[in-house]
Amino acid sequence: MVLVGKTCPSFPKSQLQWLKGEPTDVPVPGKPCVIELWATWCGPCRQIFPHLSKIQGEYAAKGLRVVGISVEELGGELQQFVDYQSGKMDYTVACSDRVGGALMQAAGVSGIPHSFVVDSEGVIQFSGHPGNPSFAAAVRKVMTTATAPKALPLVTASREELAAMPVRTLKTILQERNLSVAGLAEKRDLVDRILSDCTTQTYFANV
């Protein structure tokens, strides 16, 4: 509880290794989020995965991001573990023993699972076990005060129409949906990503 009411320590997305979902700074800038510290060897952590997935699904349309951070180092077994969980971990997942350790130290705790509920201003509203009834109450609180995000329109342009657009415009289409353009060196790569991810999936932006 030592951090409740205080600004959450922040970490750029480059300091974490990403296992599932779109990378983001932690906490998520301008959006309410749940930060969950866990590990593969933690039985109680595995029991919480479906609960966090349910919360992510329930509040996704209002902009909530659940980010699970393993306190372990990245390895093939860790990636395989996350892939195996499939829909049980239906939220963003990363790993960093340094980031996880820093959050635990700041909270004055040594055990996991441990969750932080952070509002859109970056202020921690809950710090504790995600099975605690106060956790769910804190999520409801931050979502009640959260600004409803604006649904971005589906991209309906054809491949030819996209190919005729400037590279800057193509990058904007992806970036305003929080989709990374890293590694997309050619215009055709940007077009392929837009056609793959932006024609059927609705994305939201804060208003």
Q: Which residues of 1-38 are buried (b: 16+ CB within 10 A; e: fewer)?
A: eebbeeebbebeeeebbbbbbebbebbbeebbbbbbbb
Place of tokens 């573990």: 81
Q: Nearest 5°: CA angle at 76, between 71 and 95?
A: 25
Cβ–Cβ under 8 Å, residues 69 and 99 = yes
Block mean pLDDT (10 aa), the chain, length 207: 85 94 92 96 95 93 92 89 93 95 92 95 95 94 77 92 95 89 91 94 70
What confidence score (pLDDT) does residue 19 get? 94
What confidence score (pLDDT) does residue 47 get? 95
Cβ–Cβ under 8 Å, residues 8 and 124 = yes
What confidence score (pLDDT) does residue 14 get? 93
What confidence score (pLDDT) does residue 37 get? 97
Q: What's 21's DSSP letter?
A: S
What confidence score (pLDDT) does residue 104 get? 93
User: Helix, strand, or coil here: 78?
Assistant: helix
Neighbours of 79 (CB within 10 A): 15
Single pTM value for the model: 0.72
What confidence score (pLDDT) does residue 148 get? 61
Cβ–Cβ under 8 Å, residues 8 and 117 = no
Can you tell me the distance from the alpha carbon of 194 to that of 200, in angstroms, rounded to the nearest whole number? 10
